[in-house]
Structure 1
Amino acid sequence: MKTVVVTKTLRAPIEEVFEAYTDHERLADLPMVISAKVTVPGRTEKNGLGAVREVNGGLIWLREEMVGWERPTLMEYSITRSRPASTHELGRVEFSEVPGGTKVVWTTRFGLENKMLAVAEAGFAAAFRFIFVMTLAQVEKRAIAASAAA
Structure 2
Amino acid sequence: MNKLRIAIVGAGFMGLLHARVVADSDLAEVSAIIDPNVELGRQAAAEFGVSHFADAASALSAGAADAYIVAAPDRLHEAVTCELLEAGKPVLLEKPMAHTLDAAKAIAKAAKRAAHACSSAIFFASIPAIARQLPLCARAASASRSMPAAAASPNVMSANG
Shared fold (TM-score greater than 0.5)? no
TM-score, length-scaled by structure 1: 0.32
Larger radius of gyration: 1
- Between the two structures, name the one with larger relative contact order (CA 8 Å, sep ≥ 6): 1
TM-score, length-scaled by structure 2: 0.30
Q: Identify the structure with the greater helix proportion.
A: 2
